[in-house]
Amino acid sequence: MLYSETVMDHFRHPRNVGIIENADGVGEVGNAKCGDIMKIYLKIDDGQVTDVKFETFGCGSAIASSSMATEMIKGQPVSRLLSLTNKAVVEALNGLPPHKLHCSVLAEEAVKAALKDYYDRNAIPYDPQSLPTTSCESCH
């Protein structure tokens, strides 16, 4: 399967690349063994994601998934981050090849890891089931 134009656009021109100094939440998932590592930085003001950046070491699908996920959550209330799914990222990218779906899972996990970090730093209670710890089980 060829990559969609949307995937190629987000790979060639990724949005929100970089680091946020003094981020309110940082999430890193993946490992060098599986080849994809994603790090998401959140800036949150008054319950809204005012800025989001990412660093991704991985394939084009991983970069495109990270880019799209950041676009989907920027400007959103923090409560909406829990509803971000890898399926929504894949749909927004107009599809990924089956063997690349794990990239969208990592993007979802990275966002949720950053949200968990934000909650932990600010002693905000949350349901641990809604923010599971990541294990890169989706990696091959």
**Is residue 34 annotated as a catalytic residue, yes or no?**
yes
Q: How far apart are CA 109 and CA 84, in angstroms?
A: 9
Residue of 59, 103, 136, 139 with catalytic role: 103
* Cα Rg of the chain (Å, integer): 14
Residues linked to residue 96 through DSSP beta bridges, in sequence order? none
Residue of 34, 59, 136, 139 with catalytic role: 34
Answer positive or negative: Cα dihedral of 27, 29, 31, 36: negative
**Is residue 103 annotated as a catalytic residue, yes or no?**
yes
Q: Which residues are catalytic?
A: 34, 103
